[in-house]
Structure formats: C-alpha cells, structure tokens
Amino acid sequence: MSKDKYESPLCERYASKEMQYIFSPDMKFKTWRKLWIALAETEKELGLKDENGNPRITDEQIEELKAHADDINYDVAREREKLVRHDVMSHVYAYGVQCPKAAGIIHLGATSCYVGDNTDVIVMTEALKLVRKKLINVINELAKFADQYKDLPTLAFTHFQPAQPTTVGKRATLWMQELLLDLSDIEYMISQQKLLGSKGTTGTQASFLELFGGDHETVRKIDGKIAEKMGFAECYPVSGQTYSRKVDSRVLNVLSGIAQSAHKFSNDIRLLQHLKQIEEPFEKNQIGSSAMAYKRNPMRSERIASLANYVMCDALNPAITAATQWFERTLDDSANKRISVPEAFLAVDGILDLYLNVVDGLVVYDKVIYQCFMKEIPFMATENIMMDAVKRGGNRQELHEKIREYSMLAGEQVKKYGRENDLVDRIAADPDFGMTKEEIVSILEPKNFVGRAPEQTREFLSEVIQPILDENKDILGVTAEINV
C-alpha cells in the first residue's frame, strides 16, 4: 500500500467494508450501466422508432449491454477521460467499446444527471438501509443490557448532581428512546426516496419529446418505467437538471440525529467510567496512556463523540449547498456533495459499529454502584425516616428540624473533612426518633427508592422494543469489528 499520499481515516480506521463499497467507484459505475440498460429498455418498450419507422433499439443491443453490465473496462474510461475531460461521456465511450452494436443507443436522450443524480439517490438509499440495519442491532444490544440490569438500583443525576434513584436498565431505555426517534426518521426518509428519472438538461424532457415525435403521453411514461426497473416506487414529478439538493440535506439531517443520540450515550458512559460504575470494553493488551500505564481511558466512547461532532457539523454542507443553488442548477454543488454525503455515511457507520461494540462489552461494577448509592441515600431517605418516626409517636415539626440540622452536619463531614456520611448514626443516636440503626438501614434498601423504574423498563422492552425486534429478526446478529 502506498504511503506517500493522504488516506481517509474514515476508510482506514472507522467505516465498515460494506459501507465503503456502497460509496465505491465500482458501485457507482455499475449503477450507471444499470441505468443505461433501464433507459434503453424503456425506450424500446415505448416503441422508439428511427427515421425510417423501424425500431430504434433491438433486443440484441439490450442483451449486449446486459452482458457487460458488471465487467467495466476502467482503463479505457480512464484514458478517454484524459482526452475529453468528462466522466460520463468517458464511460459512455468505454461501454460502447465493449458493446459495439449498442454503442449508438447508450445514454440516448439523457443528460449526465440521468446517471449521476439517479445513482446518488440509489447509493444514499442503500446506505440508509445499512444504517437502519445497524441502528436496529444497537437497539437490540441495548435491550439485552436494559433487561439484564432493569432491577439494579443506581443514583440518577440531574445537573450531574445525585437525584432520586433509578435503575441501570431504566437509564439504558433513555438511550434507546432517542434511537427510536432516529429509527423513525430514517424509515421515513427511506420511504420518501425517489429517483430523478430522465428529464433532460433543464427538467423539461424536451429531448425525449423530440425522440418520440412530440408524443407527450408516451414521454410521460418514461420516468415511471425507469423507477420500476430500478426498484423505486416513483420519480420526482418535477425537477430542474438535478433533483433538489434539499434531498441531500434531509438525509444528512437524519444522520446528524443519529450522531446526536450516540454522542449523548458516549457522554454518559464516559462520566460513568469516571465514577468507576460502568466501563466500556478494555482489551487485555490495550494501552490506555503512553505515560500513565494504569489508565483505562474510554477511547471508544470518545471516538463516538469525535465522529459525532464531525457528522453534526458536516450536515451544514448540504444545507448550504441547497440554499445557494441557482435556478435549474449550478455546479457549485458537485465537489461539495461528493465529499460531504459519503463522509457523513462513513462516519455514522463507524459510530454505530463503535456503539454496538461498546454496548456488547459494557462492564457493570454493581458494588461500586451500591457504595455510591449508600453515600447519598441517607439524605434522600430523610422523609421516609421522618414519617416512620412520626408513626412511632414523634413530633413531625421537631423531627423535621432535627433532620435538617443533622443533614447539614453530615454533609459537612463529607464535603469539608472527606469523611463518611454519618447521618444514619446521628439519627439513631437521637431518642426522639425512637429508631435503631438497623431499623433505619432497613429503610435505606435501594429498591425502595426506584419507583416504577423496573416496571417501566419491562413494559418498554415488551411493548415498544420487542415488536420492532420481532419485525426485524432477519437482520439481527450484526457484530462490529473495530480496526484500531
């Protein structure tokens, strides 16, 4: 492998081979040939005649095109492009070299955007389907994690301050809920994908009207036939030379949404790893720091965040491109979209592989979670303790004031002197509460403070998640290979 030129980290380090192929030259140029075959078939089926009234396109020509649909003579196209400086016409020429009988009917009546834009839509649609597949697999892994830890109490945090407890599994449902929003968006976007069709240089189909002798009804049928042959329900009913560049913007907005959800997840994991409660996978020979050998850095979660930042910013590219197009088209979109669109997909592909890998190998330290819980729960349980003491004959107002004072003193011990929370000992030592330390500790049982978190998790998994997994069981089982 040559090391004297730039190589995209998205390919070398992050994206899967499957996603890389979708945006590969081979995928693009094979799709071009499929589109040329679809156009030729459509024109033949609609009865295109030559000037003598004979069929302009024959079965023999179409069969010749099909015979060379996949064996692309790249060397011929490359040399031709050096001469004519036009990629589409270079591949038209190369295809014609392989198909001499059909050379005259390749790309008949079409403009470059016929293959360029239709291929872009086809490629984005295939890429969206792969993203959807991986997204559902991430949801599946999170569901397993949520189910396993649905009953494990943990401190919840608001403002990253200890708050009313939840469970580890319930927290995972929050990550899943965001991914469900993304899944809904991506499924909608897939359902909305339409081809450009074949509309000519400014979208008027004037060239086809001339080919078919002014027969409007026949020309109207071209787009529908092409869409059907390429596996799409329809084409956009009107266009300029290109499909609206808002399509690219809408697609990347969906990818940006996935990046946002993944970034949120990665932040939570990084914070939990700092608290030593949950860690991402750490391999036996993995080095956390070149200087500090003991470190176990959350590098995969950090990489998710890093790639997610890129995708969220990258979504601005097609937005600006769509906003600045002139009339029926300008070419200031081309260089930008051939970078921004593939890179967004390659990055999201890497993000989802990392997400899948992290969830699959999460390590939960339940003892640490319990210790953190018990350091804070006495403060949160004061109302329960007070009410129990009232039932034993205590005065609520007096007990409330005492608990307030003891809480302040206990908090001072923790924050000012770095000592353990002694609130329970202070309350147990006060005869006005009439409770032993053992009785107070029994009130502090973690499961007493998680509300409906376990039940909410079970209900969410069974009523919301499982139907999605059942419907998509054929695409489950994806595993992620992390290159570095």
CATH of the domain at 316: 1.20.200.10
Residue type, 279: E
Q: Do 145 and 208 belong to one domain? A: yes
- Estimate to the nearest angstrom the gap between the alpha carbon of 286 and the chain centroid: 27
Q: How far is CA 428 from CA 293, 392, 436, in A?
A: 45, 14, 5
DSSP structure string for 184-236: HHHHHHHHH--B--S--SSSS-HHHHHHTTT-HHHHHHHHHHHHHHTT-S-B-
Q: Do 165 and 128 belong to one domain? A: yes
What residues act catalytically? 159, 289
Q: Do 192 and 136 belong to one domain? A: yes
pLDDT at 304: 97
SS3 category, 49? strand
Q: Do 182 and 330 belong to one domain? A: yes
Q: Do 50 and 148 belong to one domain? A: no
Q: Do 158 and 95 belong to one domain? A: no
What does the longest C-alpha to C-alpha distance in the chain come to? Answer: 113
- Estimate to the nearest angstrom the gap between the alpha carbon of 54 and the chain centroid: 52
pTM of the model: 0.92
1 domain-assigned: no
Q: Do 20 and 72 belong to one domain? A: yes
Domain count, the chain: 3
The CATH number for 434's domain is: 1.10.40.30
pLDDT at 281: 86
Q: Profile the chain (484 residues) by mean pLDDT over runs of 10 residues.
A: 84 95 97 98 96 94 97 96 94 97 96 97 98 98 98 95 94 98 98 96 96 96 98 97 97 98 98 96 53 66 98 98 96 95 98 96 95 85 82 87 87 87 87 86 88 97 98 92 73
Q: Do 256 and 127 belong to one domain? A: yes
Q: How far is CA 155 from CA 47, 164, 165, 298, 462, in A?
A: 72, 7, 4, 21, 25
Q: Do 26 and 60 belong to one domain? A: yes
Long-range contacts of 55-58 (CB under 8 A, 24+ apart): 56/105, 56/108, 57/105, 57/108
3 domain-assigned: no
Axis-axis angle for helices 112-148, 453-460 (nearest 10): 140
Q: Do 77 and 153 belong to one domain? A: no
Token pair for 204:
């008027």
The CATH number for 61's domain is: 1.10.275.10
Q: Comparing C-alpha atoms, which of 138, 183, 190 is closest to residue 304?
A: 138
289 domain-assigned: no
Q: Do 115 and 95 form a contact (C-beta atoms < 8 A)?
A: no
Domain housing 353: 112-281+294-362
342 domain-assigned: yes
For 276: left if phi > 0, alpha if psi spans -120 to 50, otherwise beta; the answer is: left
Axis-axis angle for helices 112-148, 25-45 (nearest 10): 120
Cα–Cα distance measured from residue 13 to residue 262, given in angstroms and rounded to the nearest whole number:
18
Q: Which residues of 334-356 are buried (b: 16+ CB within 10 A; e: fewer)?
A: eebbeebbbbbbbbbbbbbbbbb
Q: Do 355 and 210 belong to one domain? A: yes
Torsion of CA 444, 447, 449, 450, to 10 degrees: 160
Residue type, 300: R
Query: CB neighbours of 110 closer than 8 A, spacing ≥ 6?
Result: 39, 198, 200, 207
Q: Do 123 and 226 belong to one domain? A: yes
